[in-house]
């Protein structure tokens, strides 16, 4: 997802190199662009796949909720100067927890793959001039968190009620969900494995 950040991105590759894991990490960091760094290299089982073996992920979405732009967070947060009703957003978030068909919350074209996912946590907290949203679940569809955020923001602004998210879920209709918010506020924090 172009523009999304990652702290805990995991990748795998096969190699016949005789370099140690430390040497591979040093080599990668020497040639990667300055905004990418490898923080750990370890040997995995031959059949390990970083995407297919993942059992869950945690994302964070940041919003600068202030009339004054925050120049230090501008690349890593979306600005929303309008006051937000966090309690209403938390009520809506509770209705999204558990296993549901999130078809209405993806911009992916028709696919044979299931759109059923499980969200274990949506935490909403104010930190100074920011509102941060933490999403933890067993997997997320294309643009799912960014559309969930657009829907929660509409709840926070009073455009829709918290209860309306249930109708959106049940409809399976992307047009009934909120807008796709900018990618720059989203960061992949951690990928979980068993």
The pair phi, psi for residue 63, each rounded to 5°, is: -125, 130
CA–CA gap between residue 35 and residue 7 (Å, rounded):
11
| Residues sharing a CB contact under 8 Å with residue 65, sequence separation 6 or more, in sequence order | 80, 81, 83, 84, 126, 129, 130, 131
- 136 beta partners: 58, 121
Which residue of the set 1, 101, 120, 173 is catalytic? 1
Q: Catalytic site residue 1?
A: yes
Sign of CA dihedral 191, 86, 159, 153: negative
C-beta atoms surrounding 104 within 10 Å? 23
In contact, 65 and 81? CB cutoff 8 Å: yes
Catalytic residue set = 1
């Amino acid at each position: 997802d172009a523009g999304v950040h990652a702290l805990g991105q995991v990748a795998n590759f096969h190699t016949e190199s005789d370099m140690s894991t430390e040497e591979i990490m040093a080599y990668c960091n020497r040639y990667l662009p300055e905004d990418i760094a490898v923080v750990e290299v370890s040997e995995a089982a031959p059949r390990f796949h970083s995407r297919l073996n993942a059992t869950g992920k945690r994302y964070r979405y940041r919003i600068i909720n202030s009339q004054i732009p925050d120049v230090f967070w501008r690349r890593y947060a979306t600005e929303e100067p309008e006051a937000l009703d966090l309690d209403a957003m938390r009520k809506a978030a509770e209705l999204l927890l558990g296993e549901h068909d999130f078809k209405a919350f993806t911009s992916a074209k028709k696919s044979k793959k299931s759109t059923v996912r499980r969200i274990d946590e949506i935490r909403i907290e104010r930190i100074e001039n920011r509102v941060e949203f933490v999403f933890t679940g067993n997997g997320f569809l294309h643009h799912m968190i960014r559309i969930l955020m657009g829907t929660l923001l509409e709840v926070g602004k009073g455009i829709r009620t918290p209860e309306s998210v249930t109708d959106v879920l049940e409809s399976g209709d992307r047009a009934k969900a909120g807008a796709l918010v900018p990618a720059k506020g989203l960061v992949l924090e951690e990928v979980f494995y068993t």
